[in-house]
Structure 1
Amino acid sequence: MLCQVFPENYAQQLQEKTTRLTELLPSVPNFEAFESPKSHFRARAEFRIWHEEDDSFYIMFDQETKQKVKIDACPMAIQPIADLMQPLMAEIKSTPVLRSKLFQIDFLATLSGEMLVTLIYRRPIEGDDAWLSAANALKEKLPITHIIGRARKQKIVLDQDFVTETLNVDGKPFRYQQIENSFTQPNPFMAQSMLHWARKQTQNCGGDLIELYCGNGNFSIALAENFNRVLATEISKTSVASAQVNIADNQIDNLVIVKLAAEEVTEALNGREFFRLKDVDLSSYDFSTIFVDPPRSGLDDLTRQMVTEYDNILYISCNPETLARDLEVICQSHELVSTALFDQFPYSHHIESGVFLKRR
């Protein structure tokens, strides 16, 4: 059932993922499989709201049957979200101005104890003093740190639109601003495992690191101490701004993040000038390692060829099929040294994996 967990089947489903990954990749040297908690592992959750006469409740849609499924509890969600769901719904049902045309509720929580709730409406809420008063009262009554109200072309923030997560890796805390409605790692336990593994692979690389698809600086901040300097790139303006906050918050002084797409990085390294790089002297870097964490489509043709120009390649993948495709090219010049499976999405077919390669 949607949102449910099956701890008794966890070991079997992890083994099935391991087998599938092993069959796809050319080899799996130094393989590690990182287990997720068997329940309460998702720090993000989104639910549609269904209204029937005097009742309202959470629903999700079954992807196969397209039928709505009532959600009374969600043991996939981390404990603070799971504990908040029904008290929040009770307050909404007893407060007409909060309930009226409420369409969806999104939760964003952290291991460090913050909770952001977004209430999404199919009616205007801007200028609705009654809604504003009720939302403020809701924030005071329940363990909610921040509330956002959304409607078409409207966004009301009480009192900020982000949370700050603290991930503890190798005995060190790393702090990350996570903005509502932007990409963040949904399983913070696996996020910690991924950072630990990436740091271990690169601890003896030396030189400088170049990173593509860096998001809010999640990996680059944790990897910075393994390199002399780090240049990270990201196309999302929101993520770049968040990364700058995170660099300052973590007091990282050898990391520069610029707004560039992966294909633009290739062009810049081949001599094309970009105004966004006017303060960056690319020729002064001694890149020994490249790190990529691409979307499900994997690397584009130019980037796939470009990564082979570096001695060390660290590749985090959310799609083993495109990873295997990319490795067909990369393994012509590089040797797989380490591989890992991160069970980011237990009880689903999704596989998150990592490979570390060195030039032959």
Structure 2
Amino acid sequence: MKDILEKIKNESIIEIDKVESIQQLEEIRVKYLGKKGQLTQLLRGMGQLTPEERPVVGQLANEVRDLITEKIEQTAYCLKRKDLEKRLRSEFIDVTMPGRKKKLGNRHPLTKVLNEIEDIFIGMGFSIVEGPEIEKTYYNFDALNHSKYHPARDMQDTFYITEDLLLRTQTSPNQVRTMERQKPPIRVIVPGKVYRSDEIDATHSPMFHQIEGLVVDKGITMANLKGTLDVFAKKLFGEQTRTKFRPHHFPFTEPSAEMDCTCSACGGEGCRICKNTGWIEILGAGMVHPNVLANCGIDPEEYSGFAFGMGLDRIALLKYDISDLRLMFENDKRFLEQF
């Protein structure tokens, strides 16, 4: 057994001297000192020795175990030291070299357009109103004069949470909330995210941005609506911009219209962006329906008003000549750095 112990000692030292990694060293430790290691198995067989041999072999076995353990610890220290020195060399920083300039981020195109539109309307005396994105069916549809059978209420068009709660399909509910808590005169714009069950493609998304406006006072007419929106279009797209209004239908306005602007890309001459018409649809608008005023506790015989709404994403696409709506939600620095 003494010969076996001597053999284990010599072989382990040779193997330890050849290791090049902590992993290899751990394999050697398990091989000799582990629960099923060679030295451990040998010590379990000491019961077969005579009483005279046990103390001698036991002392020698302990010496071999202590030697292997110490050799492993020393080698582990040396390997860790070498690894640290290697890392320090590879991670060396020359403090005399000039620093790398960090690039500052830019405002998102949607944020830039929103800020610009808000500044235009604030300059005309409007205030900014915000409200919940999870909305009651009453505020999203009923108070806005939507019939119970209006297609916008369909499950395939609207994200319902419960029968009475949904993700708002427009920011118009905040117009109702404003009219409920504030007496005329009212002059507000309402920006925010809205949700509709649309497929994601170059021009559609289930989540997009709107900004709407509301004016309620005595003597408000369609002329006030047209004048306000004409000023807005000229401020946003340039003084050369012309506008025109086409009859349309919205449940919450009467009469209703859609407003077109001369194409900012071609100046109204016709191009691929405006499909060679020279005009681009910008927004929907109209005089606030008397039923909506009455629903909010405002006497339609005494007061009138106008409302309008536009898709902020669409405005950004037109203003910056962006071909695909999805680019604005991908957080690609190459795209965002252009703005």
- Whether the TM-score (by the shorter chain) exceeds 0.5 is no
More strand, by proportion = 1
**TM-score, normalising length from structure 2?**
0.21
Which entry has the higher C-alpha Rg, 1 or 2? 2
**TM-score, normalising length from structure 1?**
0.20
More helix, by proportion = 2
